[in-house]
Amino acid sequence: MGGVWSSAVELCIDLLLSWVSLRSAPARESGPGSRHARRSTVVEPRIRTSLVRTLPSSTAYGASDQRAKGLDRSDVENVKALATQVSPTPQPQPTLNLDVIDCIMYILPRNDLLSIMLACRATYSTGLRHLLRAEISVSPTNLEGFCDCLLRNRADLCTLMRRLKLRTPKYEANFDPSLIARLTDVLSHAHFLEELDVYVAQSVLSNHPGLYQAITSLERLRVLVLTGHRIGEEAVEMVARITSPIVKVYARFDIALEAPDANRLLAPFVETLQDLRLSHVVFKNVANVQYGCVRKLDIQFTAVQNETVNLIQLFPNLLELRLRTHFYFEPSRVYDARPKNQQAQAQRCWPRLDFVGGSSSLIYAAGLLCGAYRLETFLVCDHIDYLAGILMDAQPRQLVLELLLLRDDVGPLLSAFQVGAPNVTDLTLTLLVYEDMAETWEDIVCWLALQTVGARMEL
């Protein structure tokens, strides 16, 4: 059935594109009838009529001309009869209705959809609906045109939007107040918007409460990505006022400001939040709060005071974890944190994670005892000892490792693989080496090939 469906779709697309080229060709007819045909919702093939017999050029037909050519009355009548004879009415041809075009538009790439929209008014209106329901990316340079286009029919067009990626000027001084007002009008009518990825300066939100209220009033919002210049505590208050059931939050706060309390940000979404990525925040209270629905977490380890048990308390049902840091994590802090975290996990630990990623120093400091199916990390040769500990803790099946080699001594690396990666069946290794270390690189590859017989390798 899959092959039959694919062939049917390809046939429909070919027919649609052929029709577009036909509609794009200059019309041979003019007048009201032609304009009406352009607006029709049914596409019909052009029909050419032709005479059955080719008439002589002498059928112009005054009495003097008849005498000059020696034609009698019967000949003239026959010629007139022939001139009125045309080919029979052709058989009905296949037609392509607008509802078929509507179905095809749903699966077309963006560029093909834009081409079909240029064919006529009917396809433009139908295609615009599909275009607005796809992800819309708006940059500062085309923000004005975007607002003007939607405000021509705000009641219909704004309600069609589902996913919006919005980039506004970095500084409020470069943001025209009249344009802010138009953007506020657009968002106020985007009643069915489900995903909003917005970059906006904090001062714009503070000085234009209408925009602030338009964002908090989005009732069907499910995904929120918030970044911008000097985003801080006031943005936290805005997000906390959103009443729609958010399932995914990505927020990056300004590192130059004091880290806001993540619990205040996430309090309205405790029962619905599933995917969370936060930068430069802190969880000030971990004892009485749990986000039991969160399955994916991307966070700075410092947000939970570098304590793995705090992560387990806040996110007990986690499946995917990525640890980040803005600053260099000193080896002394790494070696101090690891035994404390492992000891704390003796009483409470995740059963197993599907994914663990991030800096090798952070993963090593976390001392995860739960294991992970897939492990992704970056490592510098000076910290090869981290790798052995991480592999022994996680026992991954899939390993994605980016390794920076600064010297020829690869013995510790090979030992780490030999001791810590007995269960790896899928290895993706990126080696960053100097040109004069080519032989060392070849030795590593040969050794890994021997040690990972039966495993899939990608170098």
- Note the pLDDT of residue 444: 64
User: In this structure, are 248 and 162 located in the same domain?
Assistant: yes
In a domain, 250, yes or no: yes
434 vs 366, more confident: 366
In a domain, 169, yes or no: yes
114-118, 120-124, 260-264, 418-422 — which is least confidently predicted?
418-422
Structural domain ending residue among the three candidates 229, 263, 282: 282
At residue 372 the predicted structure's pLDDT band, cuts being 50, 70 and 90, is: very high
In a domain, 291, yes or no: no
- Note the pLDDT of residue 80: 57
271-275, 303-307, 329-333, 440-444 — which is least confidently predicted?
440-444
At residue 79 the predicted structure's pLDDT band, cuts being 50, 70 and 90, is: low
Domain, as residue range, for 114? 94-132
CATH number where 262 lies: 3.80.10.10
pLDDT at 207 over 90: yes
User: In this structure, are 229 and 159 located in the same domain?
Assistant: yes
| Number of domains comprising the chain | 2
Model pTM score: 0.73
In a domain, 176, yes or no: yes
Structural domain ending residue among the three candidates 132, 159, 190: 132
User: In this structure, are 237 and 275 located in the same domain?
Assistant: yes
In a domain, 339, yes or no: no
User: In this structure, are 262 and 178 located in the same domain?
Assistant: yes
Query: pLDDT tens for residues 95-146?
Result: 667 777 778 877 788 788 888 888 787 888 888 888 888 889 999 999 999 9
User: In this structure, are 262 and 169 located in the same domain?
Assistant: yes
User: In this structure, are 160 and 247 located in the same domain?
Assistant: yes
Structural domain ending residue among the three candidates 282, 301, 320: 282
In a domain, 49, yes or no: no
| Per-residue 3-state assignment (H helix, E strand, C coil) for the chain | CHHHHHHHHHHHHHHHHHHHHHHHCCCCCCCHHHHHHHCCCEECCCCCCCECCCCCCCCCCCHHHHHHHCCCHHHHHHHHHHHCCECCCCCCCCCEEHHHHHHHHCCCCHHHHHHHHCCCHHHHHHHHHHHHHCEEEECCCCHHHHHHHHHCCHHHHHHHCCEEEEECCCCHHHCCHHHHHHHHHHHHCCCCCCEEEEECCHHHHHHCHHHHHHHHCCCCCCEEEEECCCCCHHHHHHHHCCCCCCCEEEEECCCCCCCCEHHHHHHHHCCCCCEEEEECCECCCCCCCCCCCCCEEEEEHHHHCCCHHHHHHHCCCCCEEEEECCCCCCHHHHHHHHHHHHHHCCCCCCCCEEEEEEEHHHHHHHCCCCCEEEEEEEEEHHHHHHHHHHHHHHCCCEEEEEEECCCCCCHHHHHHHHHHCCCCCEEEEEEECCHHHHHHHHHHHHHHHHHCCCCEEEC
